[in-house]
Amino acid sequence: MSMTRQELYDRIRTTSKEAYILEEMKRLGFWGDSEKPTLAEELINKQARLQKELSELNQKQRQYNSREAMLKEVRLERMKASKEKQKETKARNEEKVRLKAEKWAETQKTNIIYLGQEVSEGLNNTTSDKEKLEKLKLPYFENIVEFSEKINKPISELRFLAFQRSVSKVNQYHNYYVPKKSGGKRLISAPKPKLKHTQNWIKTNVLDKIEINENVHGFVKERSILTNAEPHQNKNLVISLDLKDFFPSISYKRVKGLFLKFGYSEQLSTLFGLLTTHNETDKLNVDGEIYYAQKVDKETGKTNRFLPQGSPASPAITTLIAYKMDKRLEGLAKKMGFTYTRYADDLTFSSDLDLKKDTKATNKIIGSLLYFVKKVVTSEGFEIHPDKTHIMRKGNQQKVTGIIVNQNTENKLGIDRQTLRKFRAFLHQTAKTGWKVDKNAKDKKWGIHPDPKQAALGFASFIKMVDAEKGEKFIQKIKSIPTAEDYLQTDDTTLVSQKTEEKTLKQVETKSKESEQEIEKQSDESDWWDIF
């Protein structure tokens, strides 16, 4: 049977050309009938076997190479698909981040959900007790946006003012120390304009709406140190006590709790609490940059946030937080036959007990009163100053917030006569040389104010509150004394020219009015009598 050309090629390819020819020659009878093959035939057959093996190996190699190429191509395709998928995933993630950022930015415009560590819990609670607020006649806000619009400040600014930062380049307060009348220093933290405006709004529209106890006279309209002293006039016994660290003892949590008690949501109460309290800070210089680091309580490891002395809202907050204490002390005083008043951190008790009748019994009553007062004060979160408790009996001078309450029998309040004599001597000496700020000259200073003239005007205004006629005379006397620079040296004596005198009096009168206004303002905001 004849073979096709393709079959012939395939057969030769599987062996070799020589092996095929040999096989065909033997088939056709050209090779011979010898039993043993010749050397040529054996070599041809061996070559054919080797060629076949080589062909098989080549085929396997081709298959292997083809598989590697296929795998490589598959890998390339997979890598390409993976990169495309990563690109798509990245685009989706970027879009998610963008949408999340937009949503967060929108949330920041309409809500406050974080204000720093330790103070952000409860910011999601935005529901206020409308009925309770209306009962107290306090403004109600549906949400923080409404409050922001009412106070005319964007939420971003409120967040900035209230945010509690452990370290910041910005301090919301001007901190400085002023000397105390009794010695030592008092830290004054005066808020900067934006924060002060917010605190004033809270004070005027929220805090001042709450009714105050009748026995509280500090930082209350139409009440003063005079109204505080009047109930204790000409009493047989007057006892005065002082609360230690009055403002610093009122923590942020207590302030927040006060607003919660009013009926405001936890979110608004947190905001109000942060806006009206502060942390003491250390001023640090790091590589020429100024930083303010919050002080941390060594015992608790937490920041100590409290009422600043210098904020316009602080006095009103102290009065409201001490409401329960005042009620308890008032009840205690009435039960034991005493009259009670409070001016800021000064507690005063007075009684008409007959001190001569039974001294032992009287001492027992005084001891009991002091014991229970301390117990009440401590339970309300305050502390009695151990060195500022004074028991003043009828035979001795009795003083309440700087005013003498038993000076005469005319039932009038007075000022310490010895102090008045010193003040007259000071003005008499000053009239000889004029007003001059001299830190080293003790006889040229009055009180702790660096400007002797302003100090004198302040004390004269204080006298005028107690005794209008006497105080006005002192003010006119002060106005008549020119400054040292206005004195003209002559050969005979020191005279003042008429022109200079008129100019001086006009300036003094203007400054005097400013001083009186400042004193009046301070009387509502701080322990202003300390300037004397």
The CA–CA distances, whole Å, from 25 to 9, 42, 107 equal: 17, 15, 99
pLDDT of residue 204: 95
Could you tell me if 413 and 226 are in contact, meaning their C-beta atoms sit under 8 angstroms apart? yes
Look up residue 192 and give its DSSP letter: P
* Mean per-residue pLDDT over the chain, rounded: 82
Residue type, 237: L
More confident residue, 503 or 479: 479
- Angle at CA 69, nearest 5°, toward 68 and 74? 95
Average pLDDT estimate for 485-505: 45
Query: Residue 106 burial by CB count (10 A; 0-12/13-18/19+): exposed, middle or buried?
Result: exposed
Q: What is the pLDDT of residues 422-477, one digit of tens each?
A: 888 888 888 887 876 555 555 467 777 777 888 888 888 888 888 888 888 888 88
Do strands 173-179 and 305-306 pair parallel, antiparallel, or not at all (unpaired)?
unpaired
Q: Return the closest-CA partner of residue 228 out of 339, 127, 333, 328.
A: 339
pLDDT of residue 489: 45
Topology of domain 214-250+311-408, CATH: Alpha-Beta Plaits (3.30.70)
Percent of the chain exceeding pLDDT 90 equals 41
pLDDT of residue 515: 45
Joined tokens for residue 212: 């105050």
Band (366; pLDDT cuts 50, 70, 90): very high
Q: Measured between alpha carbons, how far is 207 from 199 in angstroms, rounded to an integer?
A: 10
Q: What is the pLDDT of residues 9-66, one digit of tens each?
A: 777 777 667 777 777 777 777 655 555 555 566 777 777 777 778 877 887 777 677 7
Q: How far is CA 313 from the centre of its chain?
A: 14
Could you tell me if 258 and 202 are in contact, meaning their C-beta atoms sit under 8 angstroms apart? no
Per 3-state DSSP, what percentage of the chain is helix, strand, and coil (rounded to 5)? 55, 15, 35
Q: What is the pLDDT of residues 287-342, one digit of tens each?
A: 889 999 988 877 777 778 999 999 999 999 999 999 999 999 999 999 999 999 99
Please state the pTM of the whole predicted model: 0.71
What φ, ψ does residue 211 adopt, rounded to 5°? -70, 140
Domain spans of the chain, in order of start = 5-77, 115-209+251-306, 214-250+311-408, 416-480
Could you tell me if 195 and 275 are in contact, meaning their C-beta atoms sit under 8 angstroms apart? yes
Look up residue 384 and give its DSSP letter: B
More confident residue, 97 or 530: 97
pLDDT of residue 33: 54
Burial 428-445 (b: 16+ CB within 10 A, else e): eebeebbbeeeeeeeebb
Taking every pair of C-alpha atoms in the chain, what is the biggest distance, in angstroms? 172
The answer to which of 161-165, 271-275, 361-365 has the lowest mean pLDDT is: 361-365
Q: Measured between alpha carbons, how far is 129 from 138 in angstroms, rounded to an integer?
A: 11
Q: How far is CA 225 from the centre of its chain?
A: 31
Q: Measured between alpha carbons, how far is 428 from 438 in angstroms, rounded to an integer?
A: 17
